[in-house]
Amino acid sequence: MDFLSVDSIHHTYFSPKTATNALANISLNVNEGEFISFIGPSGCGKTTLLSIIAGLIKPTEGKVLLNGRPVSSEKNQMGYMLQQDYLFPWKTIEENILLGLRIMDSLTEEKKTEAYELLEELGLKGVGASYPRELSGGMRQRVALIRTLITEPKILLLDEPFSALDYQTKLKLEDLIFTTLKSLNKTAVLVTHDIGEAIAMSDRIILFASNPGRVHRVFEVPPELKGLKPFTVRNHEAYPPFFQNIWKELENLESGNP
Ligand SMILES: Nc1ncnc2c1ncn2[C@@H]1O[C@H](COP(=O)(O)OP(=O)(O)OP(=O)(O)O)[C@@H](O)[C@H]1O
């Protein structure tokens, strides 16, 4: 049985005057521990599909199954990480990380210890009592990742989590997040506009076309690049030709060529 199964999804946004056909006939399967990325032109439905996978939007047609059962936004199956960290400025880093567990009434001493272990692993030792304003953007995104991981989601949904960061911080964070997710064997879906980032982090890349949003092509990342750290991938000889392949396909799409 597939771990995550997206089955014949169609989605239309209706407003009093218009109907936007955002997604048409999307089907894909994701294995446990796999990392996949969604890329494609602006407006091709990447975020809509991520929200449907999260169980936040009910699709007009089709279904999303996790281990054969419909996904639910309430059962804490999915962890979301977004472009902005959305940390509460009036709460300390520790309080921000543990808030979700507190709300779910599942905060334990073990979880608190785990939070501090994760802070240390991600290079944030000693910031538990600090406030978000005292941390850099890259540090806050690491806190956001810990806040997501601490609730033990089955799948991580990453919606352009690095796009607000400077280039150097983004490269460092890619490495750190990749290593952390792989060590936990987490399944992840990343939405990005950065082809390099998609190649560096994924096992598989789904290229979407727009109007309506649909799967245009699926690229399997070359085996020699898989499992390498993102920074190493970007410097590997197999990287440029693979990048070119995807780039050309994306350009064709945007210029309207088949
Ligand atoms: N809440 C909404 N109501 C109506 N239309 C929407 C809504 N959200 C998205 N859309 C439309 O659905 C289509 C897909 O949007 P979506 O944000 O999913 O695309 P995207 O690929 O994530 O875009 P981008 O790369 O620019 O972030 C677009 O035409 C968009 O205008």
Instruction: Compute the distance from residue 231 Cα to the ligand 1 centre, in Å.
Output: 31
Instruction: Compute the distance from residue 88 Cα to the ligand 1 centre, in Å.
Output: 27
Q: What is the pLDDT of residues 232-242, one digit of tens each?
A: 999 999 999 99
Q: Bridge partners of 70?
A: 65
Q: Does 48 contact ligand 1 (Cβ within 6 A)?
A: yes
Does the domain at 4-77+156-255 match CATH 3.90.1150.10? Answer given as no
Instruction: Compute the distance from residue 147 Cα to the ligand 1 centre, in Å.
Output: 27
Q: Which tokens hold the place of 34?
A: 């796999």
Can you tell me which atom of ligand 1 is nearest the CA of 160?
A: 27
Can you tell me which atom of ligand 1 is nearest the CA of 40?
A: 21
> In the chain, where do the E strands start and end?
4-14, 19-30, 35-39, 61-66, 69-70, 78-81, 155-159, 187-191, 204-209, 214-220
Instruction: Compute the distance from residue 9 Cα to the ligand 1 centre, in Å.
Output: 15
Instruction: Compute the distance from residue 60 Cα to the ligand 1 centre, in Å.
Output: 15
pLDDT recorded at residue 257: 60
Q: Which helix (H) or strand (E) holds 143?
A: helix 137-149
Q: What is the pLDDT of residues 115-163, one digit of tens each?
A: 999 999 888 999 999 999 999 988 998 999 899 889 888 899 999 988 8
pLDDT recorded at residue 166: 85
Half-sphere exposure (Cβ direction) of 204: Cα atoms closer than 13 Å: 15
d(CA 196, CA 246): 10
Could you list the pLDDT tens digit for every one of the 258 residues in the chain? 789 999 999 999 998 889 999 999 999 999 999 999 999 999 999 999 999 998 889 999 999 999 989 887 666 688 888 888 889 999 999 999 999 889 888 899 999 999 999 999 888 999 999 999 999 988 998 999 899 889 888 899 999 988 888 888 888 888 988 998 899 899 999 999 999 999 999 999 999 999 999 999 999 999 999 989 999 999 999 999 999 999 999 998 887 765
Q: Does 155 contact ligand 1 (Cβ within 6 A)?
A: no
pLDDT recorded at residue 158: 93
Q: Does 47 contact ligand 1 (Cβ within 6 A)?
A: yes
Instruction: Compute the distance from residue 58 Cα to the ligand 1 centre, in Å.
Output: 15
Q: For ligand 1, atom 11, name the residue with the nearest CA.
A: 22
Q: Does 82 contact ligand 1 (Cβ within 6 A)?
A: no
Instruction: Quote ipTM for the complex.
Output: 0.97
Q: Which tokens hold the place of 33?
A: 């521990």
pLDDT recorded at residue 10: 97
Q: For ligand 1, atom 24, name the residue with the nearest CA.
A: 42
d(CA 197, CA 87): 24
Residues of CATH 3.40.50.300 domain(s) within the chain? 4-77+156-255
Q: Does 51 contact ligand 1 (Cβ within 6 A)?
A: no
pLDDT recorded at residue 253: 84
Q: For ligand 1, atom 8, name the residue with the nearest CA.
A: 48
d(CA 243, CA 247): 6
d(CA 16, CA 39): 30
What is the full DSSP assignment across 42-77?
Answer: TTSSHHHHHHHHTTSS--SEEEEEETTEE--TTTT-
